[in-house]
C-alpha cells in the first residue's frame, strides 16, 4: 500500500481532525483479551470498538505498544518494530483492527519508540558482537574512564548509572531506562533512516498517527558531558520514577537543542501521508520549552503533551496559574493535547478521590485542547497494589524502583468472570483484577445516571455538539469562589454564537461563582441539575462542576 496523495504544503492546523478529537489511551495487555490466554490483545481491542465509538464516543485510540518484545517494559522494549508480538496478535489482526476502526470513523494511533530498542533486537545483538560490526555505532558505546568507571555520571530512569558494562567487547553501552533497553544513536544517519522506515511501515498499513515515546530524549550531548548535581534535589516530579534520578539536573542526557530538528524530520516523513498526526510524550518542563516542540512554523510535533498540567497541585489557584501560562505560551495556530492521567502515573481517583476525579473529567473535556483519557478512568478505576509475584513492570523490580502496575490493572467490562476481561483462570491474567470490579464496570455504570461513565458520556456528547468546546477560544475568569477564597476555577469557551461557561468547585465546601451572565446548565457532576436555569451568581455544591450555556456576549448584562 502506498499513500494515495502526497501533501506538499503544510496543512492548516485549523482544519485537522485531531484538533476536535477525543483521544483514548488503551493499554493493550490490560484492555480486553480476545483469545482467552489472560492477556489483552488486538483482537480484544477490535471487539471493543463499538464501546469506544458508540457507548463512550471517542474519536481516536492510542493502542499502546504491540510490537515484538520480551515485555519487560510492557512492550516499550521492542525487538522488532515491524511485526506484532504474537501474544498481541499478528499483522493480519492489526490490519483488521484498522479496517474495523476506519469503518466506524475511529482513528488508530500507534506507538513509536525511537529512543531505544530491547537488548534482544537483532540490531543490538549485532552491535554488541564486535567493535567493528556494521551496527556498532547504531547504539551508544564508550570506553570506561581511566579508573574503569562509567563514561559519565548520568542516572537512568530505573535507578543507577545509564551505563552497562559489556564483557564481549569491553565497553559500556548507554540505556536511559532498563539495562535491557539500550538507547539508539540518533546521530547515526543509518539509524535515522531505519527508524523513518518504521514510520512508513505503519503509515502504509493505515495507522493514523504516532504517539512518540520520550521524544525529548532522542538527542544527547554529543560530548556526553556529566550532568550537574542537583544539590537540593531535582524538582521535576516527572523525573522521580527512581530516587537516584532526582540527584542531578538532566541537562545533557535529554532535551538537547538538536532534538527539534530530529522531530521535524520525523514530522516530514509523516506529512508525506495525508491527515496523519504526531503526538509526543515529552516530560513536564517550562511552558516556554514545551512550546518549542511545535517547531518553527509548525514543522515540529502536532500535539506535544502538556504534562505539567498532570503534575499541577489540585487547587484552583495552581491550575489557573498553569493554564494561563500554557495558553500564553501556545504559539499562534498551535493546539495542545491534554491528559490528567496515563499508564505511568497514579490514577485520577487515587490521586484526587472519586468526587474530584469527576471534576477533573469536566476540566479535561472542556479545556481548549485535544483531551486524552486513560482507559478505565471513565469508570473511576483506582490504583491497586499488585503483589510482587504478580508484578510485570521491571521498573518496579529494580532496587528502589517504582512499579506502574497498580495503574494498569485490567479493564472491568461487566460483573461476569474476570469482569469480562478474559476467560482465563484469574492467576493467569496479565495483572490482578480490580477489587471493586463488581460495581465499577462498564455494564453496571451504564445503568446508573450518577456513574463516572454516565458523566463521561454526557461530557463527550456535549463536547462533540459544541463548537465552543471542541474548537473555541478560552478565557479564564478571575479567581472565583465565595469571599474570593479561590475554591473555584472558571472559564468561558466561545465559538461564534456558541458560548459555554465552566465552573469547577475544587473543594469539599459549598461556594458561589460569578458567571458573566445567567444561563442553562448543560452538563454537571450532579446530573439532577442539568437543564436548569442558573443566575450569574451561582451556588456550587461541594465537589460540583457545571457547564453552562450562555447567551452571546452582546447579550451579557
**Active-site amino acid positions:** 213, 281
Residue from 41, 213, 377, 383 binding ligand GLC (CB under 6 A): 213
User: By the 8 A CB rule, do 404 and 30 touch?
Assistant: no
Distance, in Å, from the CA atom of 295 to the CA atom of 20, rounded to the nearest integer, reads 21
* 39 near Ca ion, judged by CB under 5 A: yes
What is the closest distance, in whole angstroms, from the C-beta atom of residue 232 to Ca ion in the complex? 47
Residue from 32, 177, 256, 543 binding ligand GLC (CB under 6 A): 177
- Report how far Cα 330 is from the mean position of its chain's Cα atoms: 19
User: By the 8 A CB rule, do 343 and 64 touch?
Assistant: yes
Residue from 16, 35, 312, 512 binding Ca ion (CB under 5 A): 35
Residue from 344, 377, 378, 383 binding ligand GLC (CB under 6 A): 344
State which residue, 256 or 343, has the beta carbon closest to ligand GLC.
343
Distance, in Å, from the CA atom of 203 to the CA atom of 94, rounded to the nearest integer, reads 12
* 239 near ligand GLC, judged by CB under 6 A: no
* 162 near ligand GLC, judged by CB under 6 A: no
What is the DSSP track for 450-494? TSHHHHHHHHHHHHHH-HHHHH-EEEEPSPBSGGG---EEEEEEE
State which residue, 113 or 547, has the beta carbon closest to ligand GLC.
113
State which residue, 41 or 183, has the beta carbon closest to Ca ion.
41
What is the closest distance, in whole angstroms, from the C-beta atom of residue 541 to ligand GLC in the complex? 37
Which three cell numbers mark 371? 483531551
Burial class (CB in 10 A: 0-12, 13-18, 19+), 519: buried
What is the closest distance, in whole angstroms, from the C-beta atom of residue 60 to ligand GLC in the complex? 18
* 76 near ligand GLC, judged by CB under 6 A: yes
Which three cell numbers mark 268? 516530514
> In the bound complex, which residue of the shown chain has the CB atom lying closest to ligand GLC?
76
State which residue, 89 or 401, has the beta carbon closest to ligand GLC.
401
DSSP-derived letter for residue 508 is: S
- Within 10 Å of residue 177's Cβ, how many Cβ atoms? 25
From the list Ca ion, ligand GLC, none, pick the one residue 37 interacts with, judged by a Cβ distance below 5 to 8 Å according to partner type: Ca ion
* 226 near Ca ion, judged by CB under 5 A: no
- Report how far Cα 275 is from the mean position of its chain's Cα atoms: 20
From the list Ca ion, ligand GLC, none, pick the one residue 213 interacts with, judged by a Cβ distance below 5 to 8 Å according to partner type: ligand GLC
* 111 near ligand GLC, judged by CB under 6 A: no
State which residue, 30 or 46, has the beta carbon closest to ligand GLC.
30
* 214 near ligand GLC, judged by CB under 6 A: yes
User: By the 8 A CB rule, do 478 and 324 touch?
Assistant: no
Neighbour order of strands in the sheet with 107-112:
303-304, 277-280, 209-212, 107-112, 60-62, 23-25, 370-374, 337-339
Q: What contacts 127, CB < 8 A, 6 or more positions away? A: 133, 135, 136, 137, 138, 139, 141, 182
What is the closest distance, in whole angstroms, from the C-beta atom of residue 538 to ligand GLC in the complex? 39
* 37 near Ca ion, judged by CB under 5 A: yes
Footprint on this chain of ligand GLC (rule: CB under 6 A): 73, 76, 113, 177, 213-214, 281, 343-344
Footprint on this chain of Ca ion (rule: CB under 5 A): 33, 35, 37, 39, 41
Amino acid at each position: 500500500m502506498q499513500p494515495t496523495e502526497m501533501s506538499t504544503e503544510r496543512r492548516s492546523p485549523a482544519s485537522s481532525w485531531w484538533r476536535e478529537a477525543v483521544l483514548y489511551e488503551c493499554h493493550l495487555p490490560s484492555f480486553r483479551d480476545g483469545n482467552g490466554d489472560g492477556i489483552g490483545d488486538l483482537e480484544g481491542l477490535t471487539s471493543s470498538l463499538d464501546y469506544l465509538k458508540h457507548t463512550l464516543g471517542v474519536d481516536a485510540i492510542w493502542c499502546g505498544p504491540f510490537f515484538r518484545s520480551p515485555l519487560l517494559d510492557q512492550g516499550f522494549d521492542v525487538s522488532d518494530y515491524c511485526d506484532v508480538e504474537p501474544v498481541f496478535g499478528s499483522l493480519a489482526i492489526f490490519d483488521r483492527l484498522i479496517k474495523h476502526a476506519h469503518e466506524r470513523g475511529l482513528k488508530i494511533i500507534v506507538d513509536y519508540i525511537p529512543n531505544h530498542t530491547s537488548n534482544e533486537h537483532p540490531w543490538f545483538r549485532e552491535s554488541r558482537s564486535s567493535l567493528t560490526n556494521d551496527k556498532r555505532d547504531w547504539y551508544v558505546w564508550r570506553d570506561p574512564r581511566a579508573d574503569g568507571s562509567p563514561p559519565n555520571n548520568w542516572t537512568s530512569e530505573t535507578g543507577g548509572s545509564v551505563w552497562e558494562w559489556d564483557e564481549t567487547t569491553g565497553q559500556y553501552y548507554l540505556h536511559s531506562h532498563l539495562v535491557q533497553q539500550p538507547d539508539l544513536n540518533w546521530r547515526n544517519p543509518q539509524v535515522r533512516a531505519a527508524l523513518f522506515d518504521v514510520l512508513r511501515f505503519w503509515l502504509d498499513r493505515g495507522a493514523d498517527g504516532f504517539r512518540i515515546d520520550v521524544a525529548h530524549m532522542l538527542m544527547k550531548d554529543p560530548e556526553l558531558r556529566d550532568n550537574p548535581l542537583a544539590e537540593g534535589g531535582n524538582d521535576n516530579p516527572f523525573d522521580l520514577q527512581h530516587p537516584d534520578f532526582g540527584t542531578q539536573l538532566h541537562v545533557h542526557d535529554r532535551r538537547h537543542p538538536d532534538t527539534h530538528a530530529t522531530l521535524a524530520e520525523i514530522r516530514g516523513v509523516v506529512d508525506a501521508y495525508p491527515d496523519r498526526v504526531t503526538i509526543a510524550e515529552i516530560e513536564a518542563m517550562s511552558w516556554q520549552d514545551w512550546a518549542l516542540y511545535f517547531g518553527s512554523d509548525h514543522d515540529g510535533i502536532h500535539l506535544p503533551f502538556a504534562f505539567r498540567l498532570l503534575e499541577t497541585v489540585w487547587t484552583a489557584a495552581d491550575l489557573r496559574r498553569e493554564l494561563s501560562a500554557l495558553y500564553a505560551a501556545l504559539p499562534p495556530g498551535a493546539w495542545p493535547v491534554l491528559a490528567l492521567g496515563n499508564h505511568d502515573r497514579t490514577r485520577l481517583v487515587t490521586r484526587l478521590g472519586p468526587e474530584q476525579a469527576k471534576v477533573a473529567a469536566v476540566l479535561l473535556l472542556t479545556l481548549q485542547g485535544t483531551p486524552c483519557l486513560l482507559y478505565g478512568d471513565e469508570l473511576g478505576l483506582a490504583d491497586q497494589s499488585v503483589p510482587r509475584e504478580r508484578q510485570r513492570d521491571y521498573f518496579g523490580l529494580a532496587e528502589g524502583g517504582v512499579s506502574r502496575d497498580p495503574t494498569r490493572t485490567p479493564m472491568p467490562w461487566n460483573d461476569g468472570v474476570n469482569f469480562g476481561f478474559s476467560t482465563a483462570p484469574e492467576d493467569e491474567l496479565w495483572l490482578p483484577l480490580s477489587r471493586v470490579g463488581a460495581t465499577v464496570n462498564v455494564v453496571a455504570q451504564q445503568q446508573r445516571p450518577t456513574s463516572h461513565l454516565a458523566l463521561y458520556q454526557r461530557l463527550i456528547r456535549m463536547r462533540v455538539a459544541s463548537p465552543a468546546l471542541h474548537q473555541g477560544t478560552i478565557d479564564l475568569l478571575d479567581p472565583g469562589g465565595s469571599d474570593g477564597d479561590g475554591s473555584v476555577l472558571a472559564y468561558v469557551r466561545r465559538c461564534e454564537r456558541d458560548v459555554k461557561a465552566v465552573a469547577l468547585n475544587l473543594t469539599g465546601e459549598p461556594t458561589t461563582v460569578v458567571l458573566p451572565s445567567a444561563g442553562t446548565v448543560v452538563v454537571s457532576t450532579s446530573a439532577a441539575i442539568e437543564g436548569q436555569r442558573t443566575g450569574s451568581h451561582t451556588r456550587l455544591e461541594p465537589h460540583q462542576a457545571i457547564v453552562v450555556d450562555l447567551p452571546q456576549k452582546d447579550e451579557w448584562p
